[in-house]
Amino acid sequence: MLSADELITEISGKSGKNPDEIKKMIKDKQRELSDLVSEEGAAYIVGRELGVELIKDTKRELKVANIVPEMRNVDIVARIASIFEPREFNKNGKKGMVSSIILSDESGTIRLPLWNDEVSLIASNGLKQNDLIEVSGAWAKKDTYRDGVELRLGKRGRIKKLEDGPAPEPDLPHSEDYPVPPKEAKRMDISMLSPGLNAIVKGCLLQVYRKRPFFESCSQCGGRVEEKDGIFTCKEHGQVEPKYNLLLSGVIDDGTGNLRVVFFREQAEKLFGKPVEEVKAEFTEKGQDAFWDGFTGIGKELLVEGRIKSNELTKEMEILCNNVEEVNTREEIKRLLSEVGQ
Ligand SMILES: [Zn+2]
CA of 91 to the centre of ligand 1 (A): 59
CA of 243 to the centre of ligand 1 (A): 10
In this structure, the dihedral spanned by the alpha carbons of residues 214, 218, 220 and 222, taken in order and rounded to 10 degrees, is: -60
The SS3 of residue 131 is coil
CA of 244 to the centre of ligand 1 (A): 13
- Domain spanning 64-182: CATH 3.30.565.10: no
- CB-based contacts of 104: which residues, under 8 Å, 6+ apart? 64, 78, 79, 80, 81, 110, 172, 173, 174
Q: pLDDT tens track of the chain, all 342 residues?
A: 567 888 898 889 888 899 999 999 999 988 887 776 778 778 888 887 887 776 554 334 788 888 887 888 888 988 888 888 888 888 888 889 999 998 988 777 889 999 999 999 999 999 988 888 999 989 988 877 666 789 999 888 999 988 765 443 333 333 333 333 345 678 899 988 888 888 999 998 888 888 899 999 898 888 888 889 889 999 989 999 999 999 999 989 888 888 999 999 999 999 999 999 999 999 999 999 999 999 988 888 899 999 898 877 777 889 999 999 988 766 666 766 776 665
CA of 234 to the centre of ligand 1 (A): 5
CA of 240 to the centre of ligand 1 (A): 8
CA of 195 to the centre of ligand 1 (A): 30
Tell me whether the CATH fold assigned to 64-182 matches the one assigned to 189-339: yes
Neighbours of 165 (CB within 10 A): 9
What's the fold here for domain 189-339? OB fold (Dihydrolipoamide Acetyltransferase, E2P) (2.40.50)
Residue-level pLDDT at 169: 38
CA of 265 to the centre of ligand 1 (A): 18
CA of 227 to the centre of ligand 1 (A): 13
φ/ψ of 183, rounded to 5, equals -80, 125
The pTM score is 0.48
CA of 237 to the centre of ligand 1 (A): 5
Residue-level pLDDT at 187: 87
Q: Where are the domains of the chain?
A: 4-49, 64-182, 189-339
CA of 248 to the centre of ligand 1 (A): 23
Residue-level pLDDT at 36: 67
CA of 222 to the centre of ligand 1 (A): 6
| Complete DSSP assignment for 33-99 | TTT-S-HHHHHHHHHHHTT---S--S-----GGG--TT--SEEEEEEEEEEPPPEEEEETTEEEEEE
CA of 112 to the centre of ligand 1 (A): 50
- CA separation for the pair 274, 124 (Å, rounded): 62
CA of 220 to the centre of ligand 1 (A): 5
- CA separation for the pair 295, 342 (Å, rounded): 38
Residue-level pLDDT at 173: 33
